């Protein structure tokens, strides 16, 4: 049997880390909005240092999200930021833009790299290509099903991470699309907030679902209408040895994130103890996961059992 | 001495102006021929697989060969788009496909996925590899990365401004291709999976259902109460960008030394392809020949307007676009002109034009003729005949051959359009 997968969560602040470790988290993905995309919380440099300190106390890992799409004028700060990450000893840099890869190889050659563009890691040869460029891990697109994930894992030369729980990003634009609409309506943008705390949604009447939408310095982001949850369908992924399971904490509170983390920890432990124990508790764990959901957000199984056409 | 002073005064004359490639889309063989005939230096086409327009007719390998042979007569190049982000299931047959494209005489591929790039390097080494805009390249270091990977050319993200292009050019010696005209994604290309989530169609494999252009309600919700952020009279929230149009900025792009100017639209009609190709051909040639006294002519702008089915804007060229660069409510329109017929033959003695019908027209209609190098002119359709000399009350049938008397001479492949309004 393979090693247990790493349970990776995205906390809102450094102080949440000890409780999340107690709940079963092995690693944390954190970052600063200027460099990372769609973070559960914005970690300034002090907060980053604190996160590393708190996590390392118990042997947990901290990965820095440096996965923004960078324009020329951000490259100078990017280099300086990677130096900072090197100094504070983060355990990996998560990137999508090859600019980060080049800077990291030069400035911080000993920090492991995780490749994550969110949407484009869709086949094992491409995953291995980024491995050859220096990535130790690839984060797969969320729009893949169980068979595709399994095939990638079986052929990958790098570690494979997938998201198992929470919201998914469906769209990023550099344009300020919510602000543009408000301005078009004649609203005063000085007083209209469009950040993720305002809880804005796009309502799709044909599907009768609401997509969370928000703006930040990286542009406009639109999120999935339901949270994926596969607490009761982990066996194939555990069997094939997927290396890391991510639980996404964006737009959720700490209590939710802690409970969900504990639930997945329980599921993984049960499976490794005895698969029949996991089998017996699947339904109970799924019910528990459902009970944790905010009233207005359902769960689904994402793309794990879906076929897409084109 | 005097000449040197003169040169210093005018920056443009000190720099060697290079003619950029004018790159047009071609959704099928006929459009390829028209694009090349109307002035494209190169065309990009889709094959049966691996391209992002699964709804377009696309080319078989045989048709690619015919297209390449045709284009060669005009010294034009043919590129094939293979710009999907492939899934495991798409790997089988890829190498063979790329080999057959290479054998067909295609100059290069436009690719985004390293799987396809790496396979092409091995299986079809003579193909140039151009990085697709699907990679959303926005900075010079990322461009440098792809140059080091052996790519000949990169297509920049639509989010890159002129200033940023200049800086990229300064840092990296690689061919730069950029979009100048047509529809575009409102998201960072390659980073949108709305279609996947909403309709189970894979946007990054050609299944995009353009759900960004649908209507939505913007709501605010605090977990208990849901409040709409619009009133009954407001247009709904939507994310429809105006089409790109950089005709005014062609001189700046040429000054910047951009290597290829690209028009979007493999799904567009031959009327669109012909009109856009001929207008940009004239703009590029005229600025190249006479940069000091160059001015955009009103007739060029009018020509472009005849095939425009959306309002246009310069997008990110100068600044991040605002609400004014988006389409709201009923501002979506259809092209004011439609393609009515293709010239097959003109008899100078009898002044009779022979046309292939492409849309309904009848005697008394005002029509307009245009060709690749000529200025357009209008005439009213006089008595109409079929190919056997019988009088007709209207040209009703697609591809039907019809004749009428036309005062000004035209050439085969000139087009006849009709104002729909």
- pLDDT tens digits for range A97-137: 999 999 999 999 999 999 999 999 999 999 999 999 999 99
Q: What chain A residue is nearest to B50 in terms of C-alpha separation? A: A310
Q: Whose CA is closest to B131, among B59, B182, B79?
A: B79
Q: Whose CA is closest to B255, among B12, B83, B78, B1?
A: B12
Cβ A96 vs Cβ B142: under 8 Å: no
Long-range (24+ apart) CB contacts under 8 A made by B73-76 are B74/B36, B74/B37, B76/B36, B76/B40, B76/B41, B76/B42, B76/B43
Which pLDDT tens digit goes with each residue over A197-224?
999 999 999 999 999 999 999 999 999 9
Contacts of B323 in chain A (CB under 8 A): 180-181, 183-184
pLDDT value at position B331?
60
Across the interface, whether the CB atoms of B218 and A294 are under 8 A apart is answered no
CA B145 remoteness from chain centre:
27
Q: How far is B400 from chain A (nearest CA, A)?
A: 35
For all residues of chain B together, what is the average pLDDT? 93
* Number of C-beta neighbours around residue A206 at 10 A: 9
Mean local confidence (pLDDT), B81-95: 96
Which pLDDT tens digit goes with each residue over B15-60?
689 999 999 999 999 999 999 999 999 999 999 888 887 666 789 9
Interface probe with A: pick from B231, B237, B320, most Cβ of A within 10 Å: B237
Whether chain A has a CB inside 8 Å of the CB on B164: the answer is yes
Q: Give the whole-angstrom CA distance, residue B142 versus residue B138.
A: 7
Reply yes or no on whether the pLDDT at B3 is more than 50: no
Q: Band of the pLDDT at B332, cuts 50, 70, 90?
A: low
Across the interface, whether the CB atoms of B220 and A198 are under 8 A apart is answered yes
Q: Is A117 exposed, middle or buried (0-12, 13-18, 19+ CB in 10 A)?
A: buried
Q: Whose CA is closest to A143, among B63, B207, B386?
A: B207
Which pLDDT tens digit goes with each residue over B273-290?
999 999 999 999 999 999
Structure tokens at B399: 């591809």
Cβ B20 vs Cβ B253: under 8 Å: yes
Reply yes or no on whether the pLDDT at A2 is more than 80: no
pLDDT value at position A1?
58
pLDDT value at position B330?
72
Phi and psi torsions of A139, nearest 5°: -100, 120
Whether chain A has a CB inside 8 Å of the CB on B210: the answer is no
With vertex at residue A73, the alpha carbon angle to CA A220 and CA B144, rounded to the nearest 5 degrees, is 100
Whether chain B has a CB inside 8 Å of the CB on A97: the answer is yes
Whether chain A has a CB inside 8 Å of the CB on B328: the answer is yes
Pick from A122, A172, A174: which is nearest to B87 by CB?
Answer: A122
Mean local confidence (pLDDT), B167-195: 97
pLDDT value at position B375?
84
Q: Whose CA is closest to B208, among B183, B231, B185, B227?
A: B185
Contacts of B168 in chain A (CB under 8 A): 72
Q: Give the whole-angstrom CA distance, residue B240 versus residue B215.
A: 9
Element (H, E) at A219: strand A219-223
Q: What chain A residue is nearest to B221 in terms of C-alpha separation? A: A199
Structure tokens at A218: 């990286």
Reply yes or no on whether the pLDDT at B235 is more than 90: yes
Give B228's contacts (C-beta < 8 A, 6+ positions apart): B217, B218, B219, B220
Q: Band of the pLDDT at B2, cuts 50, 70, 90?
A: very low
Q: Give the whole-angstrom CA distance, residue A285 versus residue B347.
A: 83
Cβ B43 vs Cβ B9: under 8 Å: no
Percent of chain A predicted with pLDDT > 70: 100
Burial track A145-169 (b if 16+ CB lie within 10 A, e otherwise): bbebbbbbbeebebbbbbbbbbbbb
Reply yes or no on whether the pLDDT at B14 is more than 60: no
Q: Is B200 exposed, middle or buried (0-12, 13-18, 19+ CB in 10 A)?
A: middle
Global pTM value: 0.95
CA B189 remoteness from chain centre:
16
Q: How far is A148 from chain B (nearest CA, A)?
A: 7
* B contact residues 5-64, partner A, Cβ 8 Å cutoff: 54
Structure tokens at A66: 């440096």
Percent of chain B predicted with pLDDT > 90: 87
Q: How far is B111 from chain A (nearest CA, A)?
A: 13
Contacts of B207 in chain A (CB under 8 A): 308-310
Tell me if ipTM is over 0.95. yes
């Amino acid at each position: 049997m393979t090693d247990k997968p790493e349970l990776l969560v995205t906390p809102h602040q450094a102080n949440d880390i000890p409780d999340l470790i107690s709940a079963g988290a092995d690693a944390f993905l954190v970052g600063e909005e200027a460099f990372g995309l769609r973070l559960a919380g914005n970690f300034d440099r002090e907060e980053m240092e604190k996160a590393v300190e708190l996590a390392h106390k118990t042997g947990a890992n901290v990965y820095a999200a440096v996965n923004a799409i960078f324009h020329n004028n951000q490259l100078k700060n990017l280099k300086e930021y990677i130096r900072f990450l090197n100094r504070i000893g983060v355990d990996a840099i998560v990137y999508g833009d090859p600019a980060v890869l080049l800077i990291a190889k030069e400035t911080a050659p000993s920090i492991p790299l995780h490749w994550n563009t969110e949407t484009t890691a869709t086949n094992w040869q491409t995953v291995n290509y980024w491995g050859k460029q220096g990535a130790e891990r690839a984060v797969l697109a969320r729009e893949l099903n169980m068979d595709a994930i399994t095939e990638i894992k079986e052929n990958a030369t790098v570690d494979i991470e997938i998201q198992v729980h929470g919201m998914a990003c469906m769209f990023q634009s550099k344009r300020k699309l919510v602000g543009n609409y408000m301005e078009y309506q004649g609203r005063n943008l000085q007083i209209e907030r469009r950040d993720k705390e305002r809880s804005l949604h796009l309502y799709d009447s044909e599907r009768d679902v609401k997509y969370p939408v928000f703006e930040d310095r990286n542009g406009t982001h639109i999120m999935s209408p339901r949270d994926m949850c596969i607490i009761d369908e982990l066996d194939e992924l555990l069997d094939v040895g997927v290396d890391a399971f991510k639980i996404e904490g964006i737009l959720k509170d700490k209590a939710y994130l802690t409970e969900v983390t504990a639930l997945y920890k329980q599921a993984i432990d049960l499976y490794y103890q005895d698969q029949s124990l996991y089998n017996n508790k699947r339904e109970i764990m799924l019910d528990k996961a459902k009970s944790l959901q905010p009233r207005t957000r359902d769960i689904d199984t994402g793309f794990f059992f879906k076929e897409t056409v084109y | 001495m005097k000449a040197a002073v003169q040169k210093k005064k005018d920056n443009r004359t000190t720099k060697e102006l290079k003619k950029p490639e004018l790159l047009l889309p071609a959704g099928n063989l006929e459009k390829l021929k028209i694009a090349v005939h109307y002035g494209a230096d190169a065309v990009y086409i889709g094959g049966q697989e691996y391209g992002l327009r699964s709804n377009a007719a696309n080319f078989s390998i045989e048709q690619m060969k015919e297209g390449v042979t045709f284009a060669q007569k005009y010294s034009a190049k043919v590129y094939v788009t293979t710009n999907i982000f492939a899934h495991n299931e798409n790997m089988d047959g890829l190498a063979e496909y790329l080999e057959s494209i290479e054998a067909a005489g295609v100059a290069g591929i436009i690719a985004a996925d390293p799987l396809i790039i790496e396979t092409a390097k091995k299986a079809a080494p003579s193909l140039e590899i151009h990085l697709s805009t699907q990679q959303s390249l926005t900075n010079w270091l990322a461009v440098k990365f792809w140059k080091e990977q052996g790519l000949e050319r990169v297509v920049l993200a639509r989010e890159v401004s002129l200033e940023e292009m200049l800086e990229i050019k300064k840092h990296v010696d690689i061919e730069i291709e950029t979009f100048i005209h047509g529809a575009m994604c409102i998201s960072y290309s390659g980073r949108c999976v709305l279609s996947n989530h909403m309709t189970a169609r894979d946007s990054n494999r050609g299944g995009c259902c353009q759900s960004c252009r649908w209507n939505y309600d913007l709501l605010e919700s605090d977990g208990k109460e849901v409040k709409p952020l619009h009133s009954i009279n407001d247009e709904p929230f939507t994310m429809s960008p105006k089409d790109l149009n950089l005709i005014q900025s062609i001189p700046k792009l040429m000054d910047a030394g951009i290597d290829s100017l690209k028009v979007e639209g493999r799904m567009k009609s031959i009327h669109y392809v012909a009109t856009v190709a001929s207008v940009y051909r004239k703009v590029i040639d005229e600025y190249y020949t006479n940069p000091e006294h160059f001015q955009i002519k009103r007739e060029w702008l009018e020509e472009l307007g005849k095939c425009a089915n959306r309002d246009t804007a310069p997008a990110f060229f100068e600044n991040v676009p605002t609400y004014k660069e988006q389409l709201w409510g009923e501002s979506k329109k259809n092209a004011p002109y439609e393609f009515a017929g293709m010239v097959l033959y003109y008899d100078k003695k009898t002044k009779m034009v022979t046309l292939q019908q492409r849309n309904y027209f009848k005697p008394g209609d005002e029509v307009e003729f245009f060709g690749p190098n000529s200025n357009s002119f209008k005439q009213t359709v006089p008595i109409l005949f079929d190919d056997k000399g019988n009088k007709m009350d209207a040209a009703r049938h697609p591809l039907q051959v019809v004749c009428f008397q036309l005062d000004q001479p035209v050439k085969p492949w000139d087009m006849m359009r009709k104002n729909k309004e």
